Amino acid sequence: MSRIIAENSGGGHVLDAATGNGTPVCETSVDVTKLPSMPFLLSFNHLTYSVKVGRKMPLLTGGGRTKTLLNGISGVARDGEILAVLGASGSGKSTLIDALANRISKGSLKGNITLNDEVVESRVLKSISAYVMQHDLLFPMLTVEETLMFAAEFRLPRTMSKSKKRTRVQALIDQLGLRNATETVIGDEGHRGVSGGERRRVSIGVNIIHDPIILFLDEPTSGLDSTSAFMIPSYRILGLLDRLIILSNGQTVYTGLPTNLSLYFSEFGYSIPKKENKTEFALDLIWELEGSPEGTKSLIEFNKKWQSKNSELVRLCSSLKEAISVSISKGKLVSTSTAMVPRFANSFWKEILIIIQERLGFYACTDTLPVLLHERYIFMRETAYNSYKRSSYVISNALVVLPGLIILSFAFTTITFWAIGLNGGFSGFLYYLLIIFASFWSGSSLVTFLSGIIPHLMLGYPIVVAILECFLLFSGFFINRDRIPAYWIWFHYLSVIKYPYEAVLHNEFDNSTECFMRGIQLFDDTPLVTIPNAMKVRLLQSFSDVLGTKITSSTCFSRGVDILRNQGITDLSKWDCLFITLAWGFFFRILFYFSLLFGSKNKRT
């Protein structure tokens, strides 16, 4: 396995891939048969990446400036070695790892990255590599074993049996020292779970479950306890590293063996004391140079000269396809050879079933919006390596919420229908249950869609509330449709509350034979409600004389259809309203899919 690690000046980033210096893979002027043979060689040459940095007042100061995060970075990662990328905060360590892990758009990144002298397809890289992020993104209500088993279901080959996957998980638990925490939930701020060090080891386990050929790690020791982090002074870790790349402001100031640091800086004019940590000395010196007027320019130029006279050559033993096939034959758990690599480890329906099993408990104890906002980053991590399809996730997400919506709808309907005394009997109750479920379904789908486009939880709540308030305002409840201004009437038809509201009114009043106001009931909502009934009857007789029609205490003044007409509810039947409400739910789920497809890509632009 090749490992690449990125580390800060006080800690670090690790990129788990065997890497080396920025030298050519082979030269025709030497006998390549005498060079050391490498099954895998990840090469990156002249990587350059810039971003636009906005200004606080762009109209007065211009549109912004360009900041170069990587500037001509080159190197190689060799099979079986650990390459550490060191540097101060902002030096470009994480950006370099993102570039090597194909997490920067090709149009934005200049330079070339090859594996065994071949440009690697994205689907192949996803199958043979893994990326351990700086922050632990795990489901808090799953146990350690469940978390690793879920990763095994998606990352291990589909031809591997369930028992073998479980055996692999148990072996990994022992390797990571998690045996005592096997049945402990991960936990979060509101639920006590594993320790920070155990959580970090679980994150690493999730990504190495399939024994990747290349492993990228960003700040792998962050969150570990002192024992797991080798007591961190950094010199204890230095002995584990095979090669180093030290960055300063996006440029390389050293590439090579850790043992050559003393010689390198001695020739540069700064001798490292024998008892001092070499990497700490180097990083402190670089920090001092960065604060000087000339910066690290002289050190960067010295590194180029150093590399030209200390370059190392290696010989590739085979093509990429052959190398992967050999790795699989030796026990690697990646899917298969490059020609046969499936994009996903499981079939479509099995993906849905596994995701449903894994997420049911998570949804049972939390609200939709915070769950989905938290889960989106886990989704981005899992789909970055084709753990499952976006469509499988969207469908399973919808199926997971259905049981809760059905139970909530039944409870709400049972209480309100009989407590309020709504009409319709048992058939009316069943329709009322259907429309309540449809409204909950469309509302849940709306919030799900918004969670796919809203970046933060604190921003999500006010946006959701504002949208629902606008839907309620234009639903026809506060303002009849006929009184809504013409330039706002379009919003009336977009309101997801309009259709269940009209459906309930249809269910209650859509009866042409039932009368809701007779005779003296005409005075119930007027100041005359308190006068004697005999006087009300005489007033009705007076109305009869004036209007020329007979009006008695049994005359019907208002039927259900009249109430619906007064509310402006005449265009749609109650079944139309039901189907439209359900359709809104499916429409928002489709929008959610596209929000994940285009808005949740784990790549820099």
Question: In this predicted model, what pLDDT tens digit does every residue of 92-149 receive, in sequence order?
Answer: 888 999 999 888 887 788 999 988 888 888 878 887 888 888 888 888 888 999 999 9
Strand partners, 474: none
Residue 448: what pLDDT? Answer: 87
Q: Is 273 left (phi over 0), alpha (psi -120 to 50) or beta?
A: beta
Domain(s) of CATH 3.40.50.300: residues in the chain: 2-309
Q: Rounded to an integer, what distance in angstroms lies between the CA atom of residue 579 and that of residue 403?
A: 20
pLDDT at 222: 66
Mean pLDDT on 258-280: 86
| pLDDT tens for each residue of 123-137 | 788 878 888 888 888
Percent of the chain at pLDDT exceeding 90 = 17
Return the pLDDT at 364. Answer: 37
Of 373, 329, 381, 325, the closest CA to residue 154 belongs to 381
Specify which residues 75 forms β-bridges with: 44
At 362, the pLDDT band (50, 70, 90 cuts) reads very low
Q: What is the pLDDT of residue 589?
A: 93
Residue 28: CB atoms within 10 Å: 5
pLDDT at residue 588, rounded to an integer: 94
Is the per-residue pLDDT at 172 higher than 90? yes
The pLDDT value given to residue 604: 67
DSSP 514: -
Per the model's pLDDT, the better-predicted residue between 474 and 319 turns out to be: 474
* Mean pLDDT, range 162-187, rounded to an integer: 92
CA distance 500 to 498: 6
Looking at residues 585-595, what average pLDDT do you find? 93
**CATH fit for domain 2-309, picks 3.20.20.70, 3.40.1440.60, 3.40.50.2000, 3.40.50.300:** 3.40.50.300
| Between 373 and 294, the higher pLDDT residue | 294
The whole-number pLDDT of residue 28 equals 38
Question: For residues 560 and 281, which has the higher predicted lDDT (pLDDT)?
Answer: 281
Q: pLDDT higher for 338 or 605?
A: 605
Query: Which helix (H) or strand (E) is 251 found in, with range?
Result: strand 251-256
Report the distance separating Cα 307 and Cα 23, nearest Å. Answer: 8
The pLDDT tens digits of the residues spanning 40-57 come to: 888 899 999 998 876 555
CA distance 506 to 576: 11
Q: Which amino acid is at 65?
A: R
Burial of 400 from C-beta contacts in 10 A (0-12 / 13-18 / 19+):
buried
Task: Please state which of the ranges 168-177, 214-223, 424-433 shows the lowest mean pLDDT.
Answer: 214-223
CA dist., res. 302 & res. 580, Å (int): 70
**Contact criterion met (CB below 8 Å) for 110 and 74:** no
Say if strands 2-7 and 82-86 run parallel, antiparallel, or are unpaired.
parallel
Q: Is the distance from CB of 5 to CB of 65 less than 8 angstroms?
A: no
Strands (E), 266-342: 315-316
pLDDT band for position 60 (cuts 50, 70, 90): low
What tokens were used for 550? 């007979």
CB 409 within 8 A of CB 437: yes
- Looking at residues 266-282, what average pLDDT do you find? 85
Q: What are phi and psi of 4, to 5 degrees?
A: -125, 130
Cβ neighbours, 10 Å, residue 344: 20
List pLDDT tens digits, range 175-223: 999 999 999 999 877 778 898 888 889 999 998 888 888 899 887 766 5
The band of 37, judged by pLDDT with boundaries at 50, 70 and 90, is low
Local confidence band at 352 (pLDDT 50, 70, 90 cut-offs): low
* pLDDT on residue 360: 46
Tell whether the model's pLDDT for residue 173 goes beyond 90: yes
pLDDT given for residue 182 in this prediction? 92
Whole-number pLDDT of residue 355:
52
Helical ranges in 26-133 per DSSP H: 58-61, 93-100, 122-128
Q: Which residues pair with 115 in a beta bridge?
A: 42, 118
In this predicted structure, what is the pLDDT of residue 536?
72
Average pLDDT (556-575) is 74
**Predicted pLDDT at 315:** 57
Mean pLDDT, range 14-31, rounded to an integer: 40
**Predicted pLDDT of residue 177:** 92
Beta strands in 17-148 (DSSP E): 19-20, 37-38, 41-53, 65-78, 82-86, 109-115, 129-132
The pLDDT of residue 171 is 93
For residues 102 and 14, the answer to whether their CB atoms sit within 8 Å is no
pLDDT confidence of residue 18: 39
